[in-house]
Structure 1
Amino acid sequence: MSIMCHRARIMPWRTLRFNESVCNPYNADFDGDEMNLHVPQTEEARTEALMLMGVQNNLCTPKNGEILVASTQDFLTSSFLVTRKDTFYDRSSFTLLCSYLGDGMENIDLPTPALIKPVELWTGKQLFSVLVRPNAHTKVFLNLAVQEKIYSKKKGKKEGGEEVKETMCGRETMCPNDGYVYFRNSELLSGQVGKATLGNGNKDGLYSVLLRDYNSHAAASCMNRLAKFSARFIGNHGFSIGVDDVQPGEHLNRQKKKEIDGGYKKCHDLISLFAKGALALHPGCNAAQTLEHNITGVLNEIRSIAGNVCMDTLHWRNSPLIMSQCGSKGSPINISQMVACVGQQSVGGRRAPDGFLNRTLPHFPINSKTPAAKGFVANSFYTGLTATEFFFHTMGGREGLVDTAVKTAETGYMSRRLMKGLEDLSVFYDQTVRNASGGIVQFLYGDDGMDPAKMEGKDGMPLNLDQLFMKVMATCPQRGSDTLSPVGIKQMLEDKFLQHDTSSDGGCSAEFKKNLTEFLDKRIELMKCTRRALHLHEDHVEKKDSCLEESIAAIISGISAKQLQVFLDTCLSRYQSKKIEAGASIGAIGAQSIGEPGTQMTLKTFHFAGVASMNVTLGVPRIKEIINAAKKISTPIITAQLLSRKDVLSARIVKGSMEKAVLGEVAATIQTVLKSSLPNLVVKLDMQLIETLHMGISADSVKLSILNHPKLKLKSEHVRVIDRAKLRIYPAGTDKLKLQLELHNLKSILPKVIVKGIPTVERVVIDEVKVNNATERYQLLVEGTNLLAVMGTPGVDARKTKSNHIMETNQTLGIEAARRSIIDEIQYTMKSHGMNIDRRHMMLLADLMTYKGEILGITRYGIAKMKSSVLMLASFEKTAEHLFNASYSGRQDQIEGVSECIIMGIPMQLGTGILKVRQRLDHVPEFKYQPDPILS
């Protein structure tokens, strides 16, 4: 979407300008950006550009269907200020602001004033309602409910700043911060509008709902009205930021000092426990790692508390606070760093490393682990940083700079490879996804044939059923109709599905039917709850006017036959309109959708999974590993589910049987016994440790492990079991001159003998999975490979065990499991960086990598196996080599793919080029040249 079609208005001078709402797709700002213009030369090119690339036709991103062209920055700030609860305007002010909506040619119907006596006053919310629907001729009935950033269930604060307890009335429209935005039939009833309502990256916002309920023209018109209004309003109102906006108050300074002193005391207590060796270790961590984890948690808490106090004490007119709350710019962290406390500086995800001998800087004592010595900045930007704090701050800042420089080249090359691999994939008229040579990659795009750019719901769902139901209930009221019974609702749904499945459109997917059925089941359950509360029969519904209770139940949760019919018809017709069109170049769109978020990722490699301190490679390195189909990955982890899911003792036993243990770890002593006849080694096992860790090791099992070790080459008579915890080992050689050397070798190899567990497993960590702060189950995170051995371990649920190593999954479970693993791993990596990409793009990439029956990476070797075109391979990498080999062997190129067609200058078989227009020439009359008639 960084190339789009605009209608040009020619103006003097050399400056380009366009509506600020369209800045986001171009990533453009006004600090000297340069742009290129291309003017279509023919009517055909002009029409194609306008229809396919016009701004109004590309308001949503194909990455996941979220709105991309939307209000930004000042537009959000002015909307937030106008819709505040205590904003009132008299007639002259209100009509003046209404005139800002357009250029003087619009018809605007003034609503009834909110206050009539002693003077007519209109609210800011009414002004916004006029903006959405200026007059009665505008047939736009907007219905939506959105929680803004400021939405809170708490009742608020007293004048002294004390927090009042949460109450039940603090829900939804009764939010004390006015953070629940609720539109009903284009009337703004509650809420201060901000980024969640008007901004990009949201599927439930105002423009998204206008776009799908009406059309792109309705959304663009509303956007234009808001742009004109906001620019004029904020210019007259004024909005600026100064040093006084970030000046902390006395209460904030006292609270900050109290929190920092308390936090420092906790850190010093932890350091003293560490020095004594009395620190309670975290699972899978040593003492130093546990100390770092604990101190980091304490210091992060200091900054978050200081930030919360800061946000609570600032006046509501504070400019940085307004910008943060409405989402136009900045975050609470930025404000707390300016006003209260900058916080902990991290380098590589950890506290500041030692730059000198056992200390970060020469200003601190050796081996000092105090917050100040390891990069904690207690000052704010307002008070100014000390010399050491400034140094640590620059260390943290440098990491971001280096990241930006390095990742640009990394992700750029990755995007190019993805594009070369996926460029020729498109949807054909038989719904299949094929490459240029006609090879089928998917039988149905994304398993349901839907267009990712048109998805309304979360996680790639075709429709947002809640919002659609709200619209139907608002625009199609009951008006005396009787309520349907639960049985009637289900029967009507089944009839509609049956009728739709036999239609020429081809029906709906099973998943969509299931979601629609579940949604209506919830509505039925709500109806039953209401009827139970009113002491009415749950399943048998009387006529609406039969009694007062029936009338109340109908108003609260009743659904009439007309409403249900409109709802189902709208759902099914919308579902059909969201199917992908034949000729869509889904390969190129998928490559861009996966490649583009890569540039936004930081190169931060490691991430701590809970307290388990299990390092997981994430970010760009992980995406590279997946699409390269790497045989060896940096952090292979197997997630093993247990048969006894809630039993921690069972988890410890399975962990003990799986984790690699060497003889040196479980032996109390390995002693050399020098006798004149037979010198030997005596191994004594630490049985107390073995029993504590539930390892199940005895002298007999250790004997077997020693005999099976390839380097020792000992036989059964060389190893003698004395008792349950003691063994005697004799050297294999009989040469007395070499006995000492053999004993020495034996003593060096024995501690490394694996006596328990899987040899390729480095360690196992018990991970406690919590839901709502309650332990739901225990699972094992296994650091290492050999998925087959882990699945075969007693106590492990093999059906629910998975590995993040794709090649190993392929070897163990087959190509289908590997395909699923590719999809899940890319999705997990993207989500852990806060990026939401439609699953269909990942499915297409996974299918391309696996459709040949083996996993092919998107590399020069993998693409060479996928594609047969010489010109395409030559345009990618190793140009001279491919051309030389092809000419030597006399290969032919069919010129079918995208790269080849561009090189040869012919139309490619994508989009409008997927079909050829043909005409029967035998019916065309013969054209004869004749002289022009002589006009008398």
Structure 2
Amino acid sequence: MDVLQPVELWTGKQLFSVFLRPNANVRVFLNLTVREKNYCKDLLVNGREIETMCSKDGFVYFHNSELISGQLGKATLGNGNKDGLYSILLRDYKAHAAAACMNRLAKLSARWIGDHGFSIGIDDVQPNEKLRGQINLIINKGANECDEQIKLYNEGKLPPEPGCDAAQSLEAKITQKLNDIREKTAKQLMKELHWRNSPLIMSQCGSKGSPINISQMVACVGQQSVGGRRAPNGFIDRSLPHFPRKDKTPAAKGFVAHSFYDGLSPTEFFFHTMGGREGLVDTAVKTADTGYMSRRLIKALEDLFVHYDNTVRNASGSTIQFCYGDDGMDPSQMEGKNGAPLNFERLFLKAKVTCPAEGVEKLSPEKVSELVESRLSKHDMTPEGGCSAAFKTSLKNFLDEYVKSLKRTWETCDSTKDRVKKENFAIVKQIVQQISGATARQLEVFLDTCISRYHSKKIEPGTAIGAIGAQSIGEPGTQMTLKTFHFAGVASMNITLGVPRIKEIINGSKKISTPIITAMLECDNNVNVARIVRGRMEKIRLGQIAKSIKAVLTSREASVFVTLDMDRIQEAQLSIDANVVKDAILRTPRIKLKQEHVRVLDFKKLEILPHKSDRSEILFNLNNLERMLPRIIVKGIKTVDRVVISKEKEKPETSKYKLFVEGTGLLAVMGTEGVDGRKTKSNHIIEVQQTLGIEAARACIIDEIEYTMNSHGMSIDKRHMMLLADVMTSRGEVLGITRFGIQKMDRSTLMLASFEKTADHLFNASVIGKEDRIEGVTESIIMGIPMQIGTGMLKVRQRVDVPPKLSYGPKPILSS
């Protein structure tokens, strides 16, 4: 990236190239591609994006230590992720190369900031007239849309959201509109600000802040939330006495239309303090909760480590895992996505770039497949040679994809054979082969690098993976907001997330706050089928489908007549008639009626007689019956509160439907006609164990922790979650990481005494004369002896018995 005309100049990109490779003697050839925070897909050629031509220079590309494109920000330099510049230098060229490059950059950055400065002033957050007009336009348009929704609601014409009543639908729609205002103003602002604007630079390079923060300073603070909703009513039917009663407009429920630069009005300021108070309380409560949670995790997992036979065992020698994480790899060394050992794309690029290919014939797809098969059949790629089946499969899949793309290129080349002249085609064929494909040496280097790296990333025996796993789950908990409720794709459905959800999972709670079953449908592309299945699950009470329930008292007899509303039943696509209602009444134990007490008059009418008892009690029984009949559950699952149809769009032309079931009853949901029981999941771990068994509960623990972490934008290596799930389920039941669960894990007395209820454990152990073998971490520390973990797992022993003397050669003939 040189500037040669009109005069020769250095560019910033050349400087970065010098940091990595100051002179020809430094053998550091870095190859790396990273998408920075400000990367945008704006250049498409034949439907394919040209990454390096990003208009904001957000695609960082290093080719043999030369910076070809991109502005370096947090994603490249300091994100702590596995794809960053220093991580790759550390892996490919060891610590010295990474430290030297870090030093060079630090010295230059400090000198640059010292000479030029970087400060923020009031003019950085001052909007110009044009921007102010655009922002006002967006806010007014959003406010008008909210007013239209409120008008529809007041007239009773608002179309309801799935599973919501009119008030919930209005709240969902208004919240969505107000969130759109904040996002649109932020987007507009980022376009209009000058490229030298200091807050903008900080946001784009990733050092601090986001577009929303800048938008709050310059344009609009946005909606304030309390408990995940708009500001609640603190007075009678209103949030503050400054507003009319039952006012649902944005301003009356906590929307702050001003920016911090403009200043907030008194009511806006009050709403802002309500939101801020919740943040402070959350922080205080969260600190105590996450601290205690981390302590419990550490105590439960502290003595787990990897043995020389690859198993993970506890202090008493019980096996927790036969192979750590199913593949025996070290989580801290993983490079690829989703905890994969290697990033094949980067390594293949590196092999192609660092091995010269000029004048060397490129391999045909068939030859590539042949070389790959021969290399993968060698001993170091078999389970006996220390390779997992998953790694071999992933490497083979990557190379199969490469072979397919190579075949497509060569076939395209062959198809043009007839359309171009023979002499021209020979040149074209040669160029295509030079551009696409790899040489035998490149492929050999790539395969050898992958396999040797894979074997070097195995976890070492003695590693205290229990303590590492506990810390890896506990520490991200401190970064979570405490109370976060949302459910993707459904307006009114709440699900517990954040620290409370992690606590529920780790405690193995028998009752959770928001149990939800995700039911997949056998026919998932028809909304009417989804409605029919929902009708089979949802609780339908007699009061919802009856046109009338009347008590009739004559001189001869007393009875209750029930008439069903068949129009409503057909509209809701429910298969209910008088006989179904009769069966439901007889099944209800509280009413205590027998067959002869219920008469079916026709398909929509029933007559119900009260108990034949004393004449003085007949009126009481009749009124009691009339009161209890509307509550009878005619159809559906008793433990289900409600069912919501969710629509997920994968492609514009195909929409898939699934059901979210609020409540418990996994077995009943799986057994409902139309539900695909094999794909149905629940977030209630204890219920999963009772319904499907301990292995399903283990999978559920892993999935739920992963889902909760991902909801907060965090990713943890799956091996840590697998270890926790295995500890919780290794004894055949789900044991929570609590004082009761840890006690059931059959731990030593001193370890239990160091955790909670110290006096009780010591007293009980002394009464029954319990023995402690001093095997775990805690016991060893208490007794002042080395822990049997890490280097302490090795024992040097001396032979005590004297071995017999060995004599060599012939025995003497004469002996004294």
- Indicate the TM-score class for this superposition, using the shorter chain for normalisation: over 0.9
The residue number in structure 1 matching 2:32 is: 144
Which letter does structure 2 place at the counterpart of 1:548?
I
Higher deviation after alignment, 695-704 or 220-229: 220-229
1:738, distance to aligned residue in structure 2 (A): 0.4
The residue number in structure 2 matching 1:785 is: 664
1:862, distance to aligned residue in structure 2 (A): 0.8
Work out which of the residue numbers 233, 242, 258 in structure 1 matches 2:137.
258
Tell me the matched-pair count. 797
TM-score (norm. length: structure 1): 0.83
SS in 2 for 1:892: coil
Higher deviation after alignment, 675-684 or 414-423: 675-684
SS in 2 for 1:346: coil
The residue number in structure 1 matching 2:788 is: 909
Check the 8 A contact 1:605/1:621 in 2, yes or no.
no
1:380, distance to aligned residue in structure 2 (A): 0.5
Check the 8 A contact 1:240/1:319 in 2, yes or no.
yes
Alignment partners' CA distance in 2, 1:436 and 1:415: 20
Q: 1:595 to 1:536 in 2, by over 3 A?
A: same
Which letter does structure 1 place at the counterpart of 2:341?
P
Alignment partners' CA distance in 1, 2:581 and 2:142: 49
1:356, distance to aligned residue in structure 2 (A): 0.8
Which letter does structure 2 place at the counterpart of 1:320?
P
| 1:836 correspondence with 2:724 | no
Check the 8 A contact 1:152/1:170 in 2, yes or no.
no
Q: 1:313 to 1:475 in 2, by over 3 A?
A: same
| 1:688 correspondence with 2:567 | yes
The residue number in structure 2 matching 1:100 is: none
1:798, distance to aligned residue in structure 2 (A): 1.0
| 1:867 correspondence with 2:752 | no
Alignment partners' CA distance in 1, 2:73 and 2:343: 21
The residue number in structure 2 matching 1:729 is: 608
| 1:291 correspondence with 2:179 | no
The residue number in structure 2 matching 1:110 is: none
Which letter does structure 2 place at the counterpart of 1:234?
I
| 1:626 correspondence with 2:514 | no
Check the 8 A contact 2:74/2:205 in 1, yes or no.
yes
1:704, distance to aligned residue in structure 2 (A): 0.5
SS in 2 for 1:610: coil
Check the 8 A contact 1:427/1:581 in 2, yes or no.
yes
Q: How does 1:421-570 map to 2 (within 5 A)?
A: 421-501=300-380, 506-535=385-414, 547-570=426-449
Check the 8 A contact 1:673/1:680 in 2, yes or no.
yes
Check the 8 A contact 1:612/1:766 in 2, yes or no.
no
Q: Deviations over 1:853-908 (max 9, x none)?
A: 11111111110111331100000011000000111111110000011111111110
The residue number in structure 1 matching 2:811 is: none
| 1:804 correspondence with 2:695 | no
| 1:242 correspondence with 2:130 | no
Check the 8 A contact 2:689/2:697 in 1, yes or no.
yes
Q: Percent identity?
A: 64
| 1:274 correspondence with 2:159 | no
Work out which of the residue numbers 293, 297, 300 in structure 2 matches 1:414.
293
Q: 1:559 to 1:712 in 2, by over 3 A?
A: same
Check the 8 A contact 2:310/2:322 in 1, yes or no.
yes
| 1:323 correspondence with 2:202 | yes
1:501, distance to aligned residue in structure 2 (A): 4.0
SS in 1 for 2:765: helix
Check the 8 A contact 1:199/1:205 in 2, yes or no.
yes
Q: Deviations over 1:635-674 (max 9, x none)?
A: 1111111111212211111111111111111111111112
How large is the RMSD of aligned CA atoms in angstroms? 2.0
Q: Deviations over 1:712-735 (max 9, x none)?
A: 111111111111111111101331
Work out which of the residue numbers 223, 226, 229 in structure 2 matches 1:347.
226
Q: Deviations over 1:518-545 (max 9, x none)?
A: 111221122122223323599xxxxxx9
Which letter does structure 2 place at the counterpart of 1:662?
R
| 1:890 correspondence with 2:766 | no
| 1:846 correspondence with 2:725 | yes
SS in 2 for 1:603: coil
Q: Deviations over 1:352-396 (max 9, x none)?
A: 111111101111111100111011111011111111111111111
Alignment partners' CA distance in 2, 1:573 and 1:154: 39
| 1:399 correspondence with 2:278 | yes
| 1:673 correspondence with 2:552 | yes
Q: 1:314 to 1:502 in 2, by over 3 A?
A: closer
The residue number in structure 2 matching 1:591 is: 470
The residue number in structure 2 matching 1:717 is: 596
Where in structure 2 are there 5+ consecutive unaligned residues?
Answer: 418-423, 803-816
SS in 2 for 1:799: helix
| 1:227 correspondence with 2:106 | yes
Which letter does structure 2 place at the counterpart of 1:143?
N
The residue number in structure 1 matching 2:813 is: none
Work out which of the residue numbers 6, 9, 18 in structure 2 matches 1:130.
18
The residue number in structure 2 matching 1:82 is: none
1:583, distance to aligned residue in structure 2 (A): 0.1
Q: 1:116 to 1:812 in 2, by over 3 A?
A: closer
1:688, distance to aligned residue in structure 2 (A): 1.2
Q: 1:703 to 1:324 in 2, by over 3 A?
A: same
Which letter does structure 2 place at the counterpart of 1:134?
P
Q: Deviations over 1:576-608 (max 9, x none)?
A: 011000000000000000011111111124213
SS in 2 for 1:574: helix
SS in 1 for 2:600: strand
1:505, distance to aligned residue in structure 2 (A): 7.2
Q: 1:209 to 1:296 in 2, by over 3 A?
A: same
SS in 2 for 1:149: coil
1:922, distance to aligned residue in structure 2 (A): 11
Alignment partners' CA distance in 2, 1:861 and 1:281: 46
Alignment partners' CA distance in 1, 2:472 and 2:653: 37
Which letter does structure 2 place at the counterpart of 1:139?
R
SS in 2 for 1:633: coil
Check the 8 A contact 2:311/2:323 in 1, yes or no.
yes
Work out which of the residue numbers 645, 650, 671 in structure 2 matches 1:771.
650
1:773, distance to aligned residue in structure 2 (A): 4.9
1:689, distance to aligned residue in structure 2 (A): 1.4
Alignment partners' CA distance in 1, 2:367 and 2:411: 19
The residue number in structure 2 matching 1:880 is: 759
Check the 8 A contact 1:733/1:742 in 2, yes or no.
no
| 1:572 correspondence with 2:451 | yes
1:552, distance to aligned residue in structure 2 (A): 2.2
SS in 1 for 2:490: helix
Q: 1:154 to 1:816 in 2, by over 3 A?
A: same
The residue number in structure 1 matching 2:239 is: 360
Which letter does structure 2 place at the counterpart of 1:470?
L
Alignment partners' CA distance in 1, 2:379 and 2:108: 45
The residue number in structure 1 matching 2:805 is: none
Check the 8 A contact 1:662/1:755 in 2, yes or no.
yes
The residue number in structure 2 matching 1:616 is: 495
Q: Deviations over 1:614-650 (max 9, x none)?
A: 2211111111111111111111111111111212211
TM-score (norm. length: structure 2): 0.95
Alignment partners' CA distance in 1, 2:476 and 2:576: 50
SS in 2 for 1:484: coil
1:706, distance to aligned residue in structure 2 (A): 0.2
Check the 8 A contact 2:650/2:656 in 1, yes or no.
no
Higher deviation after alignment, 604-613 or 687-696: 604-613
The residue number in structure 2 matching 1:390 is: 269
Check the 8 A contact 1:769/1:775 in 2, yes or no.
no
The residue number in structure 2 matching 1:9 is: none
Check the 8 A contact 1:641/1:780 in 2, yes or no.
yes
Q: 1:256 to 1:605 in 2, by over 3 A?
A: closer
Where in structure 1 are there 5+ consecutive unaligned residues?
Answer: 1-112, 156-164, 539-544, 924-936
Q: How does 1:371-386 map to 2 (within 5 A)?
A: 371-386=250-265
